Structure 1
Amino acid sequence: MKHFFKLVLIFCALAISLSVQAQYPTDCIDAVIVCGNSTVNLNVSGIGTQELNNSNTCSSRENNSIWLQVSLVTDGTLGFTLKPNSSSIQEDYDFFVFGPNVACNNIGQAIRCSTTNPSSAGLVNNHTGMRATSFDTAEGPGPDGDSFVKWLTVSAGDTYYIVIDRPIGNSGFTLEWTGTAEFSSPPVNASNPIVTPLNLEKCDTDLPYGDGFTSFNLEANTPKIKGAQNNVSVTYHVSESDANINQNALTSPYTNSSNPQKIIARITNTITGCFELADFTLTANLGPNFQAPSPLQECDTALDGNSTNGRTTFKLNSKNPEILKGQDPSSLSITYHESLASANTSSDTGVNPNSYYNSVPYQQQLYVRIEDAANKNCRNITTLDLIVNALPLAFNTSILQCDEDGVKDGRTIFNLSQVEQDLTGNTPERSVSYYFTNTEANSGLGSTIDGNAFKNTENPQLLYAKITNDVTGCYSLAQLRLEVSTTSAYDAVLNHCDDDGEEDGHYTFTLSDADAQVLRGLPTGLELFYYQTYNDALLEVDPLPNSFKNAIPYSQTIYARVENSNACYGISEVVLTVFEMPNVQLVAEAIYCLNTFPEPITLYSDVIDPTSSTYTYDWSTGETTSEILVNAPGSYSVRITNDNGCYKDRTINVSPSNSATITDINISDASQNNMVTVLVTGEGTYEYALNSINGPYQDEATFENVASGFHKVYVRDTNGCGISEQQISVIGFPKYFTPNNDGINDYWQVDGVNDRFQPKTTIYIFNRMGKLLKQLNPLSKGWDGTYIGEALSSDDYWFSITIQDGRTLKGHFTLKR
């Protein structure tokens, strides 16, 4: 007999796992169908309905039994040897055979049976069964017989019931089939785990979202499992127990009960009842995990020409880290959309996340699409509220105050807080801070002014009041003018750019440059000395040299003492100010793609923190804008000057690059390791990919183990100057084909030949004896495995191919039926 597969059923374990309503193979109607002439390894436990009363001549009944159903597909003999798993002579197994072709409700008398007790009969082992060397058809009970009876002579189409019973012992048994007759073969799982995998994964798109439960179409796997088999049915079950006894079959759409969940498919031959089991997994993809973003708030601005229109520019992707909640940014794709419909469309890239100018004033809701980078169908959508906060009102104000400090120098103490209601329009939830310059007020980095006790530094003096909304943080500026009576000496200001090479806010001033300011309108013949502190000037100690480097960076006040015949005429303040230089990267690099000529690229002045000052630009090209367009490699420079007259020169070196020119492609094909080498020229640095413009790309120009057929080679400039491509053909041929008209591998043909590549190739096919069977047109479907209209048998066949380029290839392939 042929052995096809092994059927293993442990019925003790099965009985534990099945539900109360389950049926067991302890009765004829529930008999296990045995297929494939396999060795059967079984166990028995208990009985169902007692069916052996008065049905046999071996004087026995069911104790611990199992029913088997055997159907034959060929004529011949049928026997078996039953071997208990325990070799103990006390282990006693009996058997009974009914048939052929009887009904369970009318099984008649057993045509074979053995109830011999091996211990009582003095046998050397506890085996039993049917064999060719025995002649009796029934033996037992007790010491009668040798446990073996004559085997059966059977015909194709006959069906028999075999009852295995264990009156004594507790071990399982093995049933080894003998004889020449063959059983029905079970169906098979025709799916291929690589080509037609059974595992089903689906995004959780059923309400409620995110619970891990969604509906699946189990029957989508049926054609994969059945393949080309006929008379086969497939049912689906939640357990192997249900599948084995064919109960509680599932229907689609089916909602998984756990995630992931294992499903058992029962593949049954509808004619013989033989079955096989296969399993696969259902997985409900929950979609990306995310955190709903908090509202994104910005203050209204005058940068768009209107500081009260409720519109400004938002950097939406500043919310990405909050949404990602610590996840790998490359695992998720986040896009922003003005409508839910746009967010629901995976092909819609949404609005610019780096610079979005809100279309709805003051408050607008956007939709955020968070999708799995590896599976665009798995996505979640949330909302992001954009809020534009109005700027607070601010009103220019002035304070006129007498010189009440006893020193007639035009300096006095001001209590700035007394005019805060005037500055804010008496609006609640407002804070006021004071600055010397507009720039300092906007940056918030200027000198700190004590508003309760401020002594003016010049007369009159203009301060800047910053009015901040305590809730939103938005601010507006107002001017605060301070004025006191005039003095006999005048304050002065010395300014200089921080261009001594260190940019630390320090500069060596020539103090005499302030003389004219201090002495303006005063009598001639006065002397002037400079001191670091007011007390030094008052006491005439430690006068400063004419070349003085400020000790306090960026802004320091020193004191000028005016004397008349060594008598103090007056003391005034001299403010030394060091202006910051433009914050610029002095040297930059750029690429110009020669293949885009005459299309230009943009060169930027790239001032860091450009809002802190107003700049002018003088390019080497004569242009005066912050950025210029160029369409040629070279060196370009720009002088960037801030509103204090301080400047720096920036140089941008534009290097050439280009998309690749594919000069040749060397192909080594029709081998175990097909190789493709790409030869290119061009000014760029290149990387290479095969069959996908999106890569992956590699630095090497050679590809190994290239499949035969048609491919496309891509060459990408690493500087971003474009991708070149070219179609190629790699010659090869399949090792086998199966001309059974199932639509798969029905023809044998050379790969890599079409009306464009090698169309004049000649192909000859021979049998083992060298007889020419077919001269094959290289542009046809291929050879269908026939000769003069007759289908040829499964065998190896030989070919000789003369490729249009002059190469000759020979080899063989297999025809399988």
Structure 2
Amino acid sequence: MKLYLKLILCFYVVLCNGAITAQEPTDCIDAVIACGNSQLNLDVDGVGTQELGVGVNCSSQENNSVWLKVTTITSGTLGFTIRPSVADINEDYDFFVFGPNVSCSAIGTAIRCSTTNPVQAGLTSNFTGMNGSSSDTSEGPGANGDSFVQWLDVQAGETYFIVIDRPIGRSAFWLEWTGTARFADPPVNDADTSGVPINLESCDITAPFNDGFMAFDLESNTSNILGTQTDVTVTYHISESDANIGINALSSPYTNIANPQIIYTRITNNTTECFDLAQFNIRVNIGPDFRPPSDYVICDDLSDGDDTNGRAIFTLSSKTSEILNGQNPSDVIITYHSTLTGAELGIASTILPDTYYNSIAFNEEIFVRIQDAFNPDCVSTATLLLVVNPASTRIDHSILQCDEDGFLDGFTLFNLNEANAILTNNVDNLSTKFYVDAARTLEITTPDNFANSSNPQRIYVEVINNVTSCITDAELTLEVSVTDTFDTDITTCDDDGTEDGFYTFNLNDADDAIVNGLPTDLDITYYPSYNDALLEQNSLENFYTNTTAFAQKIYARVENSNNCYGISEVNLIVNALPDIEAETFTSYCLNFFPTPITINAGVSSANILDFTYSWSTGEQDYSIQVNQIGTYTVNVTNSTTNCTKTRTVNIEASNIATINAIEITDASQNNSIVVNTSGEGVYEYSLINVDGTTNYEYQESNTFENVKPGIYTILVRDIKNNCGVVPQDVSVIGFPKFFTPNNDGNNDTWQVFGISSAFQSETIIFIYNRYGKLLKELSPLEEGWDGMFRGQHLPTDDYWFSVLLEDGRIFKDHFTLKR
């Protein structure tokens, strides 16, 4: 039969040798006794004392090791397979076997060992051990071997030490025994066989009663675990590792450190030292499950005759279902107590009656005991706060409303919400509901538009605290007054700078007219509509801009101590200003002085007789005559509305031009004339030939280009105010390039252009042939040279001239005579 030993090791690689915690199985002397069918769970690391000596130790020493001690009870073969729990080929386990019957002080050399590295050896798994198919007794390190060596032939009663070492990796491992030899059986947990439960549970009966910690008698399980076994010791441990190693046994009674908590039991045969492990739970029952109750909140009322004392009647059992939170009521017993100690210990004298009148005003803390109905020692406790919210102060009120609906019958509309400020005493978080019946069942759903059904009429009010939901009853009396006030107008001119029919009125300007002759100390508030005034909603600011251009009706509500006295109509009237052009410009020709011009008040679309006029000159006619430049103003006033608007007439100077100089460039390829003028007008310029034909129409520029030679008249006119035209004659000198004396009426003579009796009349002209012979001396006033010399026609040829102008200029050039 195969026996299995499971070892789960949690240990870490240590790079240097050294001692570890006492009694950990990293040394021979602390080796774990391995018996048939045992399970081991070890929490070890390190190497303890390095005990692998020289000899057949497969060239290695301990890295992270655990020592096992096995004793056979039958002869046969001893083999095993170590299976790392992680299949990663890099997990490398080694082992060493010492014996038989050696002592830890003289352990000797290993009789079997393997330190083969599975990666270096090219293996497909990381298993190692002893089996019947291998023939070598040692192998390794590194690439040497296949990780398995020959198993041992053993005799009954022999003892061996097995060192399992892990140089690479962190995983736990399985150890499977093979071969035919058997080990002694460990003791058993008789409670498993007999079916006796060994879990321990206790109610939390020591103060504090709800912390989950209690002292347990662990030894109460010993007899159940032993059963009929003898020569066996039972010990109790916090961890499975401690139980495997046999260290840190717990004493009894033992107070748990967690709730619930596992206790590990080591059952050891005192002769063979074989052991087995068991476990059980210890649990502290901290009482029945429950939901902590919310505060029990009610409102102070008159049930005890006083709604201000902070005391009221509570029905404590009304919180029971909340505490149970769906549990079966028969499973728990719930009582309410005046003290915490009374609730914890179940003191009857502290139990409160179900109908409880709190003894501490407004806030009192009581305590709930929740007891397991089947285990009186299992109890939970909770705190319950009894809260009495104060009621609001009762304030009754009345509203006096005007009968302004056109029928003096004592019936009108009320805005009941207008009473809220007084009904709630201006306290935040208070609201109101209104009812027509004393039982307060018929709520008024539109309190801002309520029509009374009697005069007076009593309305029943609930004043509600929005935070606590506490309600105080109050009453509101509605009365309709038949007093009245006066209608009036506020009239203004549209003189705010924007003539659009809108104006910002000071509504208080209507106050005196509205209450003229009425009692003093009346309050006036303005509203956009009659209903708004009646219901006191959407009030207007004192400075109000009308929303309908030129004319709008608003309403004034007059009150006496918040009671309606009357509602008046107030007409807001914005009169338009006279329709005139506010500013204009015109010009006066200074050259016409003292002849006057006429200016007027500029009324556009109305009868001028509907207005009065006041000029800055003192005149009061629609139009006046002036002959001085400057600024004139006239106030135009509507005779009906008395609205005035001012017109400004700006008269600027204008005049004919003064020609200061004329610059002429002539006898050139591009003859030009530049006219330089001054004056108060705006001028245009024209050029007219002596024959009356216009060479240049009027233009803004004072310069004429490409002017043909000849006599011209320059015209300068004022276009600013049409003050007149100034003429000036000019001459542009030029010389013909040819002439054709054939009597056809065109170019029959040659003469200098631009000379007349008024211009350059003293000029002298000489004509020569190409050899310099003087042919003709001309006066500029003659008709011109006809191509004759001494009665003979001269031939076609170039001829030369010399001109001495009257202004002293001399020109010489040639021209062509063509026949």
Give the structure-1-normalised TM-score: 0.40
Give the structure-2-normalised TM-score: 0.40
